[in-house]
A and B are shown apart, each in its own frame.
Chain A
Amino acid sequence: MRRVLWIAAVLAVAGCKQDDMKVVAKKVQNRADLIGGPGALGDVGDFLLANEQARFIIQDIGPSRGFGVYGGSLIDADLQRPVVAGDSSGGIGADNFSELFPGLFLKAMNPTRIEPVQNEDGSASIVVNGEAGDFIFLAKTINDVIITGAEQLVFRNEYRLRPGKRYVEITTTIRNIGDTSVELPDSGVNSLIGDDLSFPLPVGDVILFGAGNDVFSEQAGFDMRFTLEDSYEIPVQLPQLPGLRTPFLATRSPDISYGFLSGITDPNLSFVQRAEYEDANTDDLLVPFLASAFTGAFYGAAPTRLSSREDSFPSCSSPSDCGSNGTCTPLGCEIACDADNLCDAGYQCVEGTCTASAFSYSKYFVVGRGDVASIRDVVHDIRQTPVGTVEGVVLERFGQAPEVGVDVLTFDADGSPYSQHTTDGEGRFRGTYAPGTYSYRVSADGRFPTKAVDFEVRTNEGTFLQIDLDSPGEVSVRIVDRDTGELIPGKCSLVATYGAAATGFEGREFLYELQLGERLRPIDLIPDGVDPMTRRYVEEVIIARNGRQKTRIRPGKYRAYCSRGMEYDVYEEDIEVVPRSVVTVNAELSRVVDTTGWASGDFHLHSINSVDSFTPLRDRVGHVAAEGVDVAVSTDHNFVTDYTRAISSLGIERFVQGMVGLEMSPLEIGHFNGFPLKYEPEAVGNGSFPWSGRRPDELFAEFRALAKYGEDNVIIQVNHPRDTILGYFNDYNVNPDTGVPEPSTDLLLSPPITDDNEFGPEKFSWDFDAIEVYNGKRYELLRHYRVPEQLPPPPLPADIPPAGTILRDADGQIAFPGGLEDWFLLLNQGRIYTGTGNSDTHSLADEPGIPRTFVPVSDDTPSTIDELEIVDALKNQRAFATSGPFSLVRAESEGCFNRRTGADLSRTACGMGEVARATDGRLTLVVDTQTAPWVKIDRVRFVVNGDTNATVEGDRVSLAKVTHEITGMERDGWVIVEIIGDESMFPIIVPNELPAIQVSDALGSIGGAFGFDLNPFGNLSPSQVTLTTPYAFSNPIFIDVDGNGAYDAPMAGMQALSASIARPGVNAKRFDPHGMPELMKVFALFASGCGHSH
């Protein structure tokens, strides 16, 4: 390290003025004016704000094109680039931002008017006016309790760009235009938390940075998730809320980075000041949650009261009443704010004038060059922090070649993450620092993170760092078909063992450092022991999209496991990686499972076109091919994707076929896939459609309108029906005992039901084709949760029922329903849907095709599979879902019939989806199962009408052919077959080590601060953390005992009965705070576990 003076250079840069260029604010008339990029959402009709440094798009009025609800949000942002002009297909920039919108506690802005404005000071603005709208309708009741009178509030959001700046200053103004004052929060809330406490209503923003943006903050570095989770463990007392405090947020991604910081300078408007956090800075952010790409940032605090419009200003009868700073107008004294934009108590500074009926708060949204340091520079600029400059270069120690794209992480004197640099094409980096002592570490592909090295920064001086880095090793893989010698797509997992000293620790505690932005290395999740085979982890998965791939690997000894999905065996080889050398792995694989006549499909895949995925299209389809899946259905969130070009560009048409689909992803009424669909590249979202405020049947109708082969030839699949608020059955409160959607009994956490919105049991639609029973590695979503033999650690509820009992809540409802058992119930009731299994993979860390669904086709060559045959199979229950075993299931019967038409099929061996006649109540099932040697199975289970009829134990050899006779059937029914293994498929398939964080978890973290107990079961709840074991199930063979050639559902009558019972109860327990006496609200909050009693 050496120190040089950089003052001259700094001054030179500072003096390089580019402020004379015009700032543009306009409505976009031509797609060529759009920004473009992997996360771009803008379209004609939106608004552009641009200067010579940066460009921003604010969405027009309408449903959000991101993951939010409303338009008016900032949706695209990029630096100005040398070549920016797009064409009719859009811009060619590098936007990777999703959405930013303001929030008043949990209320958002529903825009009503947007206009571009050219300001006198040379800046330009996009001004959005709107009203308060609900963002998460589930929380509407909480919102309405906390903010009474929201209908009187109007929002104004001004996005202002100044010349020469690469940040937009956003000022949000909330104004009471009603005839009565509005208390923020409602007085009932303060009466609950105590007379001597006053809860400052937090205001801030919801930021969807989008996948591919690694979020950074002080304290956490890039480990936002676990730092935030750890913060929840520290109890806080209202008015404080749990969360992570940081002066700013920034991101890292290859071409563009984003930053966000508060612009609040008035302590009375600062949430952290009003809530009296220790050592708080007025402009600190509080991040209460980070989930599903949503980042919450609270930093402002609303005044306790917004006066009515008439009481905005002090009354006056003459100019002398208003003092020297005021003007007496018909509305009262309009008094100018002081030099620091402050006003007398009870008044807030809004647009230079003190008012009692409104308040404003500001924040900055910054674009950077891809690293945190380029954001940090702007933070220093905005906050006028005295700084010095750090500049450096990273070189490979051996040949002194520049290290390009490596991370230099810096830490302050307390060891808290401070900044991050990404080296440029010459290995260089640069950034500004507040004066002080720091240290740096370097993280690079194929190298272990370096040790910390100290350095010092002085005001207006430069510090130069030269960093030498050890060389990486490389592994080159080549995968061929042993029979043909042809290159085939596949993958090689490099597995190593960790020392016994790490026993009992989580991988993130010793294998990798999330704080530095390192990626996770999956561990085997089996209890550590003396045997090193119990202490394995996957260092790297090398995906050879077309049979070859070379990757940098950290030096060490590994065992390479090369594979190509469940139909192939595994090649194994021990290797040692050393610096500056290439190890070659030549893998030969044989197909060991014969699936002739069947095509495997993954009907749920995400790519870079989903807001929560950053997987490029070529990587997505290449990974699908490497796992041996024949058909890849693109199902990006609210975006139609066509894989065709990506597949052909890799030359892998022989291995995988793309099918166009879409995952319609409303926030609170479930997620649905539709396929095959038309691809309309000229339309917004390539033909996707809006979801906000629309009922499920309307969304299903849209799918049919978008169907590639006509409305009768599209599959509508209900995805993960029991996955928190993302599950359709959960959202409509489908009773797992009756199969009937019911009104919610939750006083507070239930969405509002009106005739013209999408919520309420009567809006539920049964008009779909398939249920994604088996979603990724979410085994806990299969069956209803039962009390385990071994109870988890506290907290646990009182009165735990015996082990094996289905856990129920205080109302007797099944606490954690499972989709598989829902499906069984519906089959019993005569609601016939096809059960499917799909991966729902978003990143390259989760394998496509785990699970997958096989369907019979006339030609199973991937390039020529007929999409309509897949549709036909899925409409007729000819499908087999699996993560490993492949089974052919048939029933030997008196005769087979088509279930839908009743046609006699003139044979006695019946397949899935067909009706097998068995008038003597006896039916013989034959199950032929094949597995690759690495897929270990332990039992075959026969399920008749939802109950286990028989279980046959064995291994992959003895279970290869299982025959079972069902006897004693007295009426019609159905049978499915499950194939189950207990042994993990690690390392070919990695465990589910990190559960996803959902929006509902985020709500829980906020609700918890108010005393809302959203999980009364504590740790007695299903865990997402699990080994990935073999599991498969067939679709039903229907059993015709009464001999009429049809399936007469055994519980068909229950449908009507349950429905008639449920209907009168609609809205019976609904809690509508509007016009409700204060005391009822207080009681409702108390009964829901909210707040302190008082």
Chain B
Amino acid sequence: MFTPALAFAHTGGVERSLALEASKDRLHVLAHVEVSGKQRIETWVRLVDVDHDGRLSKAERAELERRLVAQALDGIRVFVGSSTVAIEGGQSALRLETGQPIALMVHGSAPLPGGPRQLAVTTRAGGAPLKLLVRPGTRPVVKASRGAPSKGGLSVEMKAADRVSWRIAGE
């Protein structure tokens, strides 16, 4: 039997990414997580289907969304300079359609001072891998610790306990 505990022990079938975009005074953050594979999807659904009726009520769906938000953001820290930033105005949206992967997005933003800045993202030890996408926005990437900046943006595969930093232009 494929239990929920086993499901979470495997990272395969759960993919997550983090996109960042700098504007004049905000750093926009978009986290995305997707659960694919029929068995794994069923496991996630069974996990929150507390009345075992095979359907997700509003409350059960909210619980699924809460868990996926946690999964999407698990162990991720975003730095501006040497400080961790708090993400404000977070909103999440869940996509749950028959036969399709479960998908969730979380969007928020943090204050970003003007002028050239050093930004970084870290992942925790033992955490899930992360695809990091930096979009140019109005302040393109000028230099990065890993991955070559392309068209003002950056794309890097991050592992557990990883760190990527880059520098953006001022506006």
List chain A positions with a Cβ less than 8 A from chain B: 798-799, 1077-1080, 1082-1083, 1086-1087, 1089, 1093-1094
Partner of A1093, one of B20, B32, B57, B137: B32
Partner of A1080, one of B28, B34, B55, B56: B28
A1080 in contact with B101 given A798-B56, A799-B58, A1087-B91 (CB within 8 Å): no
What are 15 sample pairs from A and B whose C-beta atoms fall under 8 A apart?
A: A798-B55, A798-B57, A799-B58, A1078-B135, A1079-B19, A1079-B107, A1080-B28, A1082-B30, A1083-B93, A1083-B107, A1086-B95, A1087-B105, A1093-B95, A1093-B105, A1094-B32
Q: Does B43 contact A (CB under 8 A)?
A: no
Which residue from chain B places its CB closest to the CB of A1013 in the assembled complex?
B97
Closest 5 CB pairs between A and B? Answer: A1093-B103, A1087-B93, A1083-B107, A1079-B30, A1079-B28
0/1 per residue, B25-56, Cβ < 8 Å to A? 01011101010000000000000000000011
Contacts of B57 in A (CB 8 A): 798-799
Contacting residues, chain A, for B58 (C-beta < 8 A): 799
Q: Which residue of A lies closest to B138 (CB)?
A: A1077
Interface centre among B32, B34, B57, B105 (most CB of A within 10 A): B105
- CB neighbours (8 Å) of A1083 from chain B are 30, 91, 93, 105, 107
Residues of B at under 8 Å CB distance from A? Answer: 19-21, 23, 26, 28-30, 32, 34, 55-58, 91, 93, 95, 101, 103, 105, 107, 135, 137
Residues of B within 8 A of A798 (CB): 55-57
CA distance A1080 to B34 in the complex (A): 19
Select from chain A the residue with minimum beta-carbon distance to B103: A1093
Are B91 and A1078 in touch, CB under 8 angstroms?
no
On chain B, the residues within 8 Å of A1080 by CB distance are: 28, 107
Q: Hey, which chain B residues are within 8 Å of A1077, CB to CB? A: 21, 23, 26, 28, 137
**Further contacts, 12 of them, CB under 8 A, given A1079-B20, A1082-B30, A1086-B103:** A798-B55, A798-B57, A799-B57, A1077-B21, A1077-B26, A1078-B135, A1078-B137, A1079-B29, A1079-B135, A1089-B95, A1093-B32, A1094-B32
Closest Cβ of chain B to A1083, distance in Å, is 4
What is the CA–CA distance of A798 and B94 in the complex, to the nearest angstrom? 15
What residues on B are CB-neighbors of A1089 within 8 Å?
Answer: 95
Question: Are A1079 and B95 touching (Cβ within 8 A)?
Answer: no
Q: When chains A and B are docked, how far (Å) is the Cα of A579 from the Cα of B135?
A: 77
B18 CB, nearest partner CB in chain A, Å? 10
Q: How far is the CA of A1078 from the CA of B32 in the complex (A)?
A: 15
Q: Please report the C-alpha to C-alpha distance between residue A614 and residue B32 in the assembled complex, in whole angstroms.
A: 54
Taking the closest CB of chain A, its distance from the CB of B40, in whole angstroms, is 16
Name the distance in Å between A924's Cβ and chain B's nearest Cβ.
48
CB of A1075, distance to nearest CB on chain B (Å): 9
A residues less than 8 Å from B20 (CB atoms) = 1079
Whole-angstrom distance from the CB of A388 to the nearest CB of chain B?
51
A905 to B43, CA, bound (A): 75
Q: Hey, which chain A residues are within 8 Å of B19, CB to CB?
A: 1079, 1082
B16 to chain A, nearest CB (A): 11
A1092 to chain B, nearest CB (A): 8
A657-B101 Cα distance, complex, nearest whole Å: 64
CB distance from A193 to the nearest CB of B (A): 14
Q: Within the assembled complex, what's the spacing in Å between the Cα atoms of A1086 and B94?
A: 9
A-side contacts of B95, CB under 8 Å: 1086, 1089, 1093
* A64 → B minimal CB distance (Å): 38
Q: With a CB–CB cut-off of 8 A, which chain B residues contact A799?
A: 55, 57-58
* Inter-chain contacts of B55 with A (CB < 8 A): 798-799
CB-based contact B105/A1078 at 8 Å = no
**Bound CA–CA A1094/B133 (angstroms):** 11
Residues of B within 8 A of A1094 (CB): 32
Which chain B residue has the least Cβ–Cβ distance from A798? B55
A contact residues around B30 at 8 Å (CB): 1079, 1082-1083
Q: Which of A799, A1082, A1083 has the most CB of B within 10 A?
A: A1083
In the bound assembly, the distance between CA atoms of A1087 and B91 in angstroms comes to 10
Q: Given the complex, which residues of B lie within 8 Å of A1093, measured CB to CB?
A: 32, 34, 95, 101, 103, 105
Chain A minimum-CB-distance residue to B94: A1087
Report how far A1089 CA is from B28 CA in the complex, Å: 21
Q: Which residues of A contact B103 (CB under 8 A)?
A: 1086, 1093
Query: How many Å from the CB of A646 to the closest CB on chain B?
Result: 55
